[in-house]
Structure 1
Amino acid sequence: MAKPISLIRKKLLTEEERQEATISKLKQQLAESNEALEKSLSILRELHDSGLLEAAESMLKAKAKIAEITLGQISRPEITNLINNGMAAAGALTSLEPEMTTKLMNGLTAGIQEAQSPDENRISMFSLMKSLRDPDVNRAVRFGLRFLKGLGRELGSDGKQD
Structure 2
Amino acid sequence: MAAPITTIQKQQLTEEQIKEQKLEDLKTLLSENEEALNQIFSIVGELNNVGALEAATKLLQAKEDVAHIVLHQVSREPVTNLINHFMGVAGVLTAMDPAMTKKLVSSLNSGMDEAKQINNDEKIGVFDLMKVLKDPDVNRAVNFGVHFLKGLGKGLKE
TM-score normalised according to structure 2 size: 0.74
Corresponding residue number in structure 2 for 1:153: 154
Count residues with an aligned counterpart.
Answer: 138
Corresponding residue number in structure 2 for 1:5: none
Structure 1 Cα separation of the partners of residues 39 and 95 of structure 2: 47
- Do the aligned partners of residues 69 and 117 (structure 1) sit closer, same or farther apart at CA in structure 2, a change above 3 Å counting? farther
Alignment of 1:1-162 (within 5 A): 27-34=23-30, 35=33, 37-119=37-119, 120-157=121-158
Using the TM superposition, give the Cα deviation of residue 25 of structure 1 relative to its aligned residue in structure 2, in angstroms.
6.2
Post-superposition CA distance 1:10-46 (Å, at most 9, x none): xxx9xxxx8xx96x56753441221254443233223
TM-score normalised according to structure 1 size: 0.72
- Aligned to 2:123, the other structure's residue is in SS state coil
- Do the aligned partners of residues 52 and 116 (structure 1) sit closer, same or farther apart at CA in structure 2, a change above 3 Å counting? farther
- Aligned to 1:33, the other structure's residue is in SS state helix
Corresponding residue number in structure 1 for 2:10: none
Gaps of at least 5 residues in structure 2 are 1-14
Post-superposition CA distance 1:93-130 (Å, at most 9, x none): 11111110011111222223333334121011111111
Gaps of at least 5 residues in structure 1 are 1-12, 158-162
Post-superposition CA distance 1:41-91 (Å, at most 9, x none): 233223223433233223222322222221111111121111112111111
Corresponding residue number in structure 2 for 1:7: none
Deviating 4+ runs (over 4 angstroms): 24-27
- Aligned to 2:124, the other structure's residue is in SS state coil
Identity of aligned residues (%): 46
